[in-house]
Structure 1
Amino acid sequence: MSASRAVAIITPGNNLQHVRYAHKRLSRQLAPLSPAQIGRATTRSHIAYSIQQTRLQSSNSHESDKQKPPLPPLRLLLRALRQSLSLRPIIGAFRDQSLRSLFRQSPEELVLAIILLCVIFGACVYVVYAYFNYFQSEQFTKFPPEIAKSLRRALYYSNYSPDPKLALKYYRLALEQCSKAGLDPFSDEVMGLRIQLAAWFEKIGSYKNSIQVLEALLQDSKQWVKVMEKSVRDGLIDKSGNLLGTSKPQPPTKEAGSDPEMPTNVENMWAKRTRILGKSVGISVKLGELYSNEHVLQSNSAGDHLVWAVETVLKELQRRQTEGVKVDEGDWMTPEQIGGALEALGNHYESKSQHYLAAPLFLQAISLSPPNSCHTAVLMNNLATSLAQQPVETWSESSEVSQAKEPNAAVRPTRSALLASARSWALHAQKTAEKVQGEDRTIECDETCAVALCNLGDIAAMSGDTKEASLRFKESLSLSRRISFEPGIQQAEEGLQRLAASPSSRAI
């Protein structure tokens, strides 16, 4: 063993003196060996050398085998992934001492990095919020999972990544899945899905398809109401509003998206009729708006739908007053909703210059509208315009004679009386718009004030008071410029130009 160590010291990199010194020290420490001992030592060294050689050969033989190393366990992979996603390096960089040193070295880059991190963090928070607030909202959870999935895709290709072909594909698929799942076609969810499809068609400018979807839904709703009312006349519905042979209405099935642990609001036939009839009125008003659109311009169809909506509203009110409210029938449309239907029909008559028909509708809508609201001021303005533009003939002696011959005939208002009434309503509109304060006040109030001032200028010009007309137009022009209301600016400037071109103003 000592001899082997001495041999190990002799390497090509060592110098000669160091080797000789090692030999001398070994010779002093080792005693002389006999020939027998030398033979035994030589034998041991030979055996040890052969064993080492065998081991080296075995290791080389294993290396020669080209075997792939085993894959690391899943635990190590997860640990490496967790370390790669760790925020410790970023947090450590933003410690007090590190942050100060970074700011001293490169302040601009540090500020830019902080802003970028804040933007990324805000975007991530918004994405998570949008996902849970929109795609996991109640409008999806009410449907079975497969229908909700199709509806999410339809809305995604409608709003986030517009693709009309894919959006239409998934809308149709969702409707087909609703039919296959046996959902009630007159439930709020299924009717809402069809209304959403019509709204999407309108959004992309396909007004014809939007009208077709709403027309089909309106006809189905009218047919259901007609069959239900016939069942009442035939005595097939009892006093509790249920079909004969059933003790109570069946609750929604689990496939309809209802939670079995939550109480479900079941409705009888009268409650369902109220809900469907109210939606039918809203759909009919929307169809009147679509038919009046500049891309469609079917005024007669618009008028038919709006007249039906108003007549249905008034007939239902009259029925409830005569027959009373049925069991669990629920409330009818709110006053604001009824006023909206009346206003829509009044605007239709206004567009056809049938002011004598529009005025009573606006007056009725005002009575149903909240007293302190900007929209009430708009209705007052509309009423003032209708009264001022009614083509009433001047009251003459011949009309007095005809009134004497027919004492029961309706008294026709004079032109001056109509203008006075129009001026009164325009002043009411201005005061109402100015009186609205707080959260109820919107830009509509300021625009209504500007329009009311223009209307007062027009009414004064019709009455021959050019001085007041000029004052009102200038006030409207100033207000319209202050709020950047382009239609008001145009209307006021045109009014001033008419006054300048009139003979009476030149005479003054």
Structure 2
Amino acid sequence: MLSGAPRRIGAFSPRLPLPYRQATTRSFLTSSRSGAGINGGRPHVSRTLNRYPQSQSRPLSFAQRMKFGFREASKGIWRKNPILLPFALLSVAGATAFFAYVTYVRLTRIEPVYHKFPPEVADALRTAIYYTEIDMDPQKALDSYKLALKTALIQGMHPYSDEVLGIRLQVALMLEKAGLIKQATQVLERTRAESLKWVDEGRKKKAITDKELAGKTETIEINDPEVLEAQQKQRDLEEFEERQRDKTLKKIVGMGMKLAELYAGDYMQDEKKAEAAQVAAVELCLKEMKRRQDLGLPVGGVNEDNDAWLNLSEIATALTELGTTYINQEKYELSIPLFMQALGMVKQVDGETTTCKQVVLLNNVATAMAGRAQQPIRPSPENPVTREQLIESAKKWAQMAIDVAAKVQPPVRDDDCDVSCVVATYNLGELAELQAKRDLAEKYYREAKALAKGLGFDDGIDMADTALKRIGKK
């Protein structure tokens, strides 16, 4: 019974690794040989263990400690937080993307315009643009824009300079972005009226001054440098004011076109106000053109470096948009002269080249004439044109649009030429139908449909299909 106990104890006792067992045994044997009396009969273990080299430890660096701590902290993090961790990572990525976007907007769209403003105005504008472009808040943006305008005037900025007028127009744009269309139109209407009043008053004062100077015949020679410098500053100021009036007038035309767009939009749906705004803009263009002709000034440059006033292309665009409005309202007799005048300006701009703008305007004239031919016509001494004459003229204009489009080649040619060809061909079909030429009308309608299919022009396909069904029932 006693003999089995040591075996059981030995069976369950932990065994050290082999090297340690061997090393301990050797040390006891060696210690017993070296004389037990010196140490009081105890084995000399420490001296023998020094025979084996001990590992030398070095302190960990900061990076190693951080790496070790991160490794310990990350153990089991995915298992313990299967939902929270991905959400946290997405939040970090979203925040990074947001700040990157803010930085991009600041560098590309905000900072380039700030160097023209005093620091106090620029600070208010940064806040306003932040609440316009980044975090839309109309009230905070409006307060910041008002502060910027007030500060600009206190700092001595011209009330109708490009910068100050730009702030006022930016207010309207902010309100439009916020969906406050009515408020945006109110800002534009007020800005347009005040700007036009300033231009008219300034020109009247200048006319009076020029008339007074023209009446003076005697001249006085001045040699005082200070007086000469003051006179030069006065002349520079007058030139700046005159140029600024031209630039403001250009902006007034743009305000009118923008007002027409807002009034005609889905929110306002006020066609009368839209037409009135367009008419006012076009009348202002024509009035300014006549004034410049009388004064011997450039009416509108072809490729002007001077951007103070509208160039011919911009004036033609205003005329074309009003003409298109009249077509939509079936006021064809009003749209025809606008299109023809715009065509003359575009030809002057294009020179010897031919562009698709000419094709579009030629087709617009044909469309207006074709529409007018379908309305009741009563020839009079003031307007002796008959219905048949209108039809023949419309056919010539439509065919001219097709012929001119054939001369326009890439890269000048674009989709406008192709779409205009479809519409012009369709117009020829309508004109033939008006003349009771059914077979010819069907031919043109089928050609228009084939052209529309090649372009993927769905509206053209629908128009041609409707026309083919209509003449098929006759």
**Pair in the same fold by TM > 0.5:** yes
Q: Which residue of 1 aligns with 2:29?
A: 17
1:141-290 aligned at under 5 Å gives the runs: 141-235=115-209, 247-248=232-233, 267-290=239-262
How far 1:418 sits from its partner (Å)? 0.8
Change in 2 beyond 3 A, CA 1:492/1:147: farther
Please give the per-residue CA displacement for 1:155-206, whole angstroms capped at 9, x wherever unaligned: 4443455444554444444334434433222111221222233233334433
Relative to structure 1, is the Cα distance of residues 204 and 434 closer, same or farther in structure 2, using a 3 angstrom cutoff?
farther
Q: How many residues align?
A: 373
Equivalents in 2 of 1:200, 1:164: separation in Å? 7
Structure 2: how far apart are the matches of 1:173 and 1:454?
56
1:468 aligns with 2:429: no
Per the alignment, residue 327 of structure 2 pairs with 350
| Cα 1:160/1:440, change in 2 over 3 Å | farther
Pairs within 5 Å for 1:42-81: none
Counterpart code for 2:366: A
The 3 A distance-change label for structure 1 pair 151 and 437 is farther
Partner SS for 2:422 = helix
Moved more, 213-222 or 182-191: 182-191
Q: Which residue of 1 aligns with 2:50?
A: none
Aligned to 2:469: 497
Residue type matched to 1:485 in 2?
F
The aligned amino acid for 2:111 is Q
Separation in 1 of the partners of 2:100 and 2:187?
38
> For structure 1, which segment, 455-464 or 365-374, has the greater mean C-alpha deviation from structure 2 after superposition?
365-374
Aligned counterpart, 1:104: none
Q: Where does structure 2 lack aligned partners over 5 or more consecutive residues?
A: 1-23, 40-60, 68-96, 215-229, 299-305
Q: Which amino acid aligns with 1:358?
A: S
Q: Does 1:132 align with 2:107?
A: yes
Q: Name the counterpart of 1:413.
A: 385
Q: Letter of the aligned partner of 1:349 in structure 2?
A: Y
CA offsets per residue over residues 239-278 of structure 1, 9 Å max, x none?
Answer: 79xxxx75325989xxxxxxxxxxxxx9432212211112
Match of 1:390 in 2: 372
Deviation at 1:360, TM superposition (A): 0.5
Task: Using the TM superposition, give the Cα deviation of residue 124 of structure 1 relative to its aligned residue in structure 2, in angstroms.
Answer: 11
Whether 1:380 aligns to 2:392 is: no
Call closer, same or farther: CA 1:501–1:150 in 2, change over 3 Å. Answer: farther
Classify the secondary structure of the residue corresponding to 2:233.
coil
Cα distance in 1, alignment partners of residues 213 and 331 from structure 2: 45
CA 355–145 in structure 1, closer or farther in 2 if over 3 Å, else same:
same
In the alignment, what sits opposite 2:413?
Answer: 441
Query: In structure 2, do the counterparts of structure 1 residues 292 and 238 end up closer, same or farther at CA, with 3 Å as the change threshold?
Result: farther
Residues 369 and 14 of structure 1, relative CA distance in 2, 3 Å threshold: same
- 1:19 partner letter: S
Q: Give per-residue Cα distances to partners, 1:117-171, cap 9 Å, x unaligned.
A: xxxxx9999987665333432x233223443344344444434554445544444
Q: Does the CA-based 8 Å contact 1:393-1:414 persist in structure 2?
A: no
Q: Which residue number corresponds to residue 16 of structure 2?
A: none
Offset at 1:26? Answer: 8.4
Cα deviation code 1:47-92 (max 9, x no counterpart): xxxxxxxxxxxxxxxxxxxxxxxxxxxxx99xx69x99xxxxxxxx
* Higher mean displacement: 316-325 or 491-500: 316-325
User: What TM-score results when the alignment is normalised by the length of structure 2?
Assistant: 0.67
**Matched AA of 1:320:** R
SS where residue 464 of structure 1 aligns? coil
1:180 and 1:423, CA in 2 relative to 1: closer, same or farther beyond 3 A?
same
Supply the distance in 1 between the matched residues of 2:401 and 2:176 (Cα, whole angstroms): 33
Contiguous gaps of at least 5 residues in structure 1 = 1-11, 28-75, 85-121, 253-265, 404-408, 503-508
In structure 1, give the amino acid aligned to 2:369.
L
Cα RMSD after superposing both structures = 3.9
On the 8 A contact 1:336/1:368 being kept in 2, the answer is yes
1:434–1:449 Cα contact (<8 Å) kept: no
- Whether the 8 Å contact between 2:320 and 2:339 is mirrored in structure 1 is yes
TM-score w.r.t. the length of structure 1 is: 0.63
Shift of 1:325: 3.5
Question: Cα gap change, 1:232/1:126 in structure 2, threshold over 3 Å: closer, same or farther?
Answer: closer
Structure 2 residue 298 is the aligned partner of structure 1 residue 316: no
How many Å separate the matches in 2 of 1:141 and 1:338? 32
Shift in CA distance, 25/437, structure 1 to aligned 2, threshold 3 Å = farther
In 2: Cα distance, 1:154 partner to 1:443 partner: 40
Residue 196 of structure 1 aligns with an amino acid whose one-letter code is Q
Cα distance change, pair 224–473 in 1 and its aligned pair in 2 (3 A): same
Kindly provide the amino acid, as one letter, of the partner of residue 181 in structure 2: Y
Whole-angstrom distance in 1 between the partners of 2:466 and 2:166: 45
Specify the alignment match of 1:117 in structure 2. Answer: none
CA contact (8 A) 2:316 2:343 kept: yes
**SS of 1:143's equivalent?**
coil
How far 1:383 moved relative to its partner?
A: 1.3
- Identical pairs, percent: 33
CA spacing shift, 1:146–1:376, aligned 2, 3 Å? farther
Q: How far apart are the structure 1 equivalents of 2:334 and 2:418?
A: 28
Change beyond 3 A, Cα 1:411–1:130: closer
Asked if the contact 2:136/2:178 (under 8 Å) is kept, the reply is no
**8 Å Cα contact 2:243-2:308 kept in structure 1:** no
**Structure 1 residues 236 and 421, CA gap change in structure 2 (3 angstroms):** closer
CA contact (8 A) 1:150 1:174 kept: yes
Which deviates the most, 438-447 or 278-287? 438-447
Change (3 A) 1:438 1:222: same
- Cα distance between partner residues in 1 of 2:174 and 2:357: 27
CA distance in 1, matches of 2:414, 2:429: 24
Q: After alignment, is 17-26 or 205-214 more displaced?
A: 17-26
Q: Which residue of 2 aligns with 1:361?
A: 338
Q: Is the 8 A contact 1:271 1:330 kept in 2?
A: no
CA distance in 1, matches of 2:363, 2:243: 37
Output the CA distance in 1 between the equivalents of 2:212 and 2:109. 42
2-structure distance, mates of 1:22, 1:355: 129
Partner of 1:458: 430
CA contact (8 A) 1:473 1:492 kept: yes
In the alignment, is the contact (CA less than 8 A) between 1:339 and 1:368 conserved in 2? yes
